[in-house]
Structure 1
Amino acid sequence: MEKKVKGHDELAAEARNCALCAQYLPHTPNPIFSTAKFAKVLIIGQAPGLKAHESGIAFNDASGDRLRSWLSVSKPTFYNPKLISILPMGFCFPGYKNGADAPPRKECAPTWHQAFLSQIRPELTVYIGRYAQQYYLPEYKNLTDAVYTTFAANAGHVALPHPSGRNNRWLAKNKWFEEESLPMLQHYVSNALQN
């Protein structure tokens, strides 16, 4: 018997009710993602923070403000899933570890990503942070190498550091990112949204 392929809405509804790792989470599962078929830009981030968990809105914090600035997009554009879809490595807030957000749960991406990626055909994919980079771009030795090289390659995907204030030291050390990479990122995003 041939396995029925789920439509996007059915898949999204199933993912929103996911409780796969409930026993490991500090709160009731609240999967946070925003996708639409044929989105122009796809953001693959890490995992929602506590503010996102409480509001149900991805990047609903200072990190999101910085990310939107980096992308040079408005909030209405950012939160329109037909333009920009958001698919984190972990859909739920993973809690804290050593004073920072814990890593995304490892069950999530293998369970859900391929099904969503088979239906989203973005012009540009943006991998945010080392968890997304290690999972999708393992050929790079570290995040800095991935960021620098993917921008130079202009191959329909780029890696970014996480826009958290915790990365201010990285940004200060790698001035080329803001001086050279961000103008390219804004160009890539603008082109993708216009296609």
Structure 2
Amino acid sequence: MQQLLQEIAQCTICKAHLLLGPRPVVSAHKKSKIVIIGQAPGTKVHASGIPWDDASGKQLRKWLGVNNKTFYDEAKFAIIPMGFCYPGKGKTGDLPPRPECAPKWHKPLFDELKNVELIILIGMYAQKYYLGEQAKGTLTETVANFHDYLPKFLPLPHPSPRNRFWLTKNPWFEVEVLPELRRRVKELI
């Protein structure tokens, strides 16, 4: 696993497309039981090199019901984004994750992760990639039907502060999804 993580840390396959240059951010251990697959690091995470080291990460840890020490324990949580480097700024937010990362690195990572019991899919990119045809037409429908993907996958919206409107519009998320998420995380850690 360490050799693979070192290879990923040195990856430059999409260097020409990265305004801030490559800085892959990934965290995993062969004992990881839960995998969090998000989109791609933002500028703060690009600067620190620490996954989910921003407001979205703070909200995610709250959703999971874990503190920083537990969240960053690689034997408990592997953190594998769809795109490992900051993709750049778009018109309404960050650009989508670079398409090169997941096909190149996810399978080798999962080949090393033999103890995974839950994969948390955060956002549309992760859900479409891993659920394929089973993903519903929208992120909201996919998350609302989270039971369809258990026990292997649990889809979530992105915990970005920008998603406050989505959370307000979908109060069932806090009532139905978060208790199930916290229950499963507590069982596994």
Question: Normalising to structure 2: TM-score of the pair?
Answer: 0.95
The one-letter amino acid of 1:124's match is L
User: Which residue among 68, 79, 87 is the counterpart of 2:80?
Assistant: 87
Counterpart for residue 3 of structure 1 = none
AA aligned opposite 2:20: H
2:47 to 41, 45, 54: 54
1:125 corresponds to:
119
Q: Paired residue for 1:157?
A: 153
Q: What is the CA-CA distance between 1:153 and the residue it aligns to?
A: 5.0
Question: Which residues of structure 1 form unaligned runs of 5+?
Answer: 1-7
Q: What runs of 5+ residues in structure 2 fail to find an aligned partner?
A: none
1:2-17 equivalences in 2 (<5 Å): 8-17=1-10
**Superimposed CA distance per residue, residues 53-110 of structure 1 (whole angstroms, 9 cap, x where no aligned partner):** 0001011111001000000001011011111110000000001000411100000000
Matched residue, 1:70: 63
| 2:146–2:177 contact (8 Å) kept in structure 1 | no
For 1:99 and 1:153, locate their aligned partners in 2 and report how far apart those are by CA, in whole Å.
30
* Aligned residue pairs, count: 186
1:38 aligns with 2:34: no
CA distance in 1, matches of 2:35, 2:96: 21
Q: TM-score, normalised by structure 1?
A: 0.92
Letter matched to residue 127 of structure 1: L
Instruction: Single out whichever of 64-73 and 151-160 deviates more from structure 2.
Output: 151-160
Which letter does structure 2 place at the counterpart of 1:133?
A: Q
Separation of aligned partners in 1, 2:2 and 2:54:
27
Percent same amino acid at aligned positions?
45
Q: Which amino acid aligns with 1:161?
A: P
In 2, Cα distance between equivalents of 1:99 and 1:177? 24
User: Which residue in 2 is equivalent to 1:180?
Assistant: 176
- What is the CA distance between 1:147 and its match in structure 2? 1.1
What do the CA deviations read for 1:102-141 (whole angstroms, capped 9, x no partner)?
1000000000000001111311110001110111112222
RMSD: 1.1
